[in-house]
Structure 1
Amino acid sequence: MELTKKGHACVRLTEDGRTLVIDPGAFSEPDAAVGADALLITHEHPDHFDEGRLRTALEADPGLLVHAPRAVAERLDGAFPGRVRVVGRGDVLEIAGFSVEVHGELHAVIHPDLPRVANVGFLVDGAVFHPGDAFTVPGRPVETLLLPLAAPWSKFSEVVDYVRELAPRRAFAVHDGLLSDVGLTVYGRNMGPQGPGVGSTEYARLAPGESVTLA
């Protein structure tokens, strides 16, 4: 499987000519969803779900399917009947030839005065986990974690503890679009040997557009 990092929280997963794109939001490249066989959306916030871009992608490709929580699906389904599927915790699906498990229910708390929206994480082929905007623990081993690095709802100690709890083989940074170059340097140092430590997990950050092949 080839993993390509796109802007902010978006990634592309490609295998045997099939492509899944997760969270092509407003902070991602305008063409992040182009060429995908299916789109997975973790939640409704605009940095993960850009309604205009998804409508354009659906109109351009009649075979494209979207899988998302109900709040997202309800904003799209009327114009694209049968092509926007509601997913929730516990679902196990075959999507574009990938096995996808759905974990989690709610977005992490940003502030007690702000309502929590639905948020799901996607475990692809039992190996690659994108939790969206939450520190969801899927209850099974994760080989590759797409790690939300920096967000209004988290602090660094929670990021480290999340990696330690899941103990994946590797963790690649996502949700990093809010960081400047200085911030990325600081987080990279703290997630590395100079930081408090993340056990045996190999941490790395891919630049937008950079790809890696997962064994």
Structure 2
Amino acid sequence: MSVSIASLGHSTVRLTVGDGVVVVDPGTLAPSQAFDDVAAFLITHDHDDHVDIARVTAAPAARPSTRVLAPQPVIDKLVAAGGQLEGAVESTRFDIAGFAVRPIVGDHAAIHPSLPDSPNVAYLIDNRILHPGDAFPDLPDGTALDVLFLPVSGPWMRYADAVDYVDATRPGLVVPIHDGDLDDVGRTLTDQLAGLLPDTVRYQRLELDAPITV
């Protein structure tokens, strides 16, 4: 089954099959179209750059059928929103808007030892597309990734860790995300990591809201 994928900036991505639209990590940096006519939001953790509480709250109010799948700290913040708020549980597969979604529950990558651990839920979609949130999670045995949305910047990560994760998971396509803190020069420099990836892996930065099919 072909899936349309689009980058909406920073860590926000949109996936579409037919009339089914899923948006992952609709944060405060996301444009307005990240919240329009969405069947389901998948939220990895409760940082503002990954979930805009006010706009996610408004979306189910405007479209009651909208579903929200998120870890408990996010659910706690959205509980007044109504709609279908669902906790992401590792062993539970969700069928959402034409997609099979498997949450991979873990922790946000460490920023500093003085900060407490916080939950991070990666989403494995149709067993071939991964949005890891702010972590580099272990994948279920036998997973063969067609697409990896790869974090490439932020206070919690190292360049080398991103490269090593690609080497470990061997996706067909790497799409860089989590780079809203970079200007054009920073993105150009960061994209040089493509030269360190395995020959079998294609690295492609997506133009904003310009979908490709995978």
Name the TM-score, length of structure 1 as normaliser.
Answer: 0.93
Alpha carbons 1:41, 1:67 under 8 Å: kept:
yes
In 1, are the aligned partners of 2:35 and 2:59 still within 8 Å (CA)? yes
> Of the candidates 168, 172, 178, which is equivalent to residue 171 of structure 2?
168
- For residue 60 of structure 2, what is the aligned residue in structure 1? 58
Change (3 A) 1:186 1:61: same
Shift, 1:199, TM fit: 4.0
Q: Is the 8 A contact 1:171 1:202 kept in 2?
A: yes
Question: Which structure 2 residues correspond to residues 1-215 of structure 1 after superposition, within 5 A?
Answer: 1-80=3-82, 83-139=84-140, 140-188=143-191, 190-193=192-195, 196-214=196-214
CA distance in 2, matches of 1:33, 1:9: 14
After TM superposition, give the deviation of residue 74 of structure 1 in Å.
1.3
Aligned AA (1:207): E
Distance in structure 1 (CA, Å) of the matches to 2:66 and 2:79: 13
1:77/1:83 contact within 8 Å kept: no
Rounded to whole Å, the distance in 1 between the matches of 2:90 and 2:199 is 28
Q: Is the 8 A contact 2:88 2:105 kept in 1?
A: no
Contact kept in structure 1, 2:7 and 2:207, CA below 8 Å: yes
Q: CA deviation at 1:127?
A: 1.3
Distance 1:158 1:120 in 2: 18
TM-score, normalising length: structure 2: 0.94
What are structure 2's unaligned runs of at least 5 residues? none
Give, as a single letter, the amino acid of the residue that structure 2 aligns with 1:156: Y
Structure 1 residue matching 2:161: 3-state secondary structure: helix
- Aligned pairs, how many? 210
Quick check: 1:73–1:86 contact (8 Å CA) kept in 2?
yes
**CA distance, structure 2, for counterparts of residue 10 and residue 106 of structure 1:** 19
**2:166–2:197 Cα contact (<8 Å) kept:** no
Q: 1:92 offset after TM fit, Å?
A: 1.1
Same amino acid, percent of matched pairs: 36
3-state SS of the aligned residue for 1:200? Answer: coil
SS at match of 1:3: strand
Q: Which letter does structure 1 place at the counterpart of 2:51?
A: F
CA deviations over 1:166-214 (Å, ceiling 9, x no partner): 00011101111111111111111x2233xx3334110111122121111
Ranges in structure 1 where 5+ consecutive residues have no aligned partner: none
* Worse-matched range after superposition: 86-95 or 175-184: 86-95
